Amino acid sequence: MPNETLICPECHQPILPAYYFCPNCGHNLKEKPTPVSIPLQIGIYALCLLLPPFGYWPGVKYVIKKYPPMRRVGIIAIVLTTISTALTIWAIFALFQNYLNTFNGLLN
């Protein structure tokens, strides 16, 4: 029922299920979902691609949220960070192998 009333656990005043805070005492009743804006998503995804290991922090932070759009952003961030990390490791090994080949060519 949308008009069902509950009781605030702090001040015992009637509240609606849609409330995030008690209007009487201000007690936090449930976590308010934070909107996930496009600029915020772009920033998170850029962090995941440009600084791979640091992308796990917002990824995990958003995956543990209960709000589905935030969870989706977290999952995408973790996937992008994993791909970016793998590509970075591959590029480092390829560059190192190139330097070794060049060095061996100079010695011969």
The span from the CA of 71 to the CA of 57, in Å, is: 13
Contacts 24+ apart (CB under 8 A), 69-75: 69/33, 69/36, 70/33, 70/34, 70/36, 73/36, 73/41, 73/44
| pLDDT tens digits, 11-64 | 988 888 888 888 888 888 887 776 788 999 999 999 999 998 999 999 999 999
Helix (H, G, I), strand (E, B) or coil at 95: helix
pLDDT of residue 1: 46
Instruction: Tell me if 20 sits within 8 A of 29, measured CB to CB.
Output: yes
Q: Residue 3 pLDDT > 90, yes or no?
A: no
Lowest-confidence region among 46-50, 76-80, 96-100, 104-108: 104-108
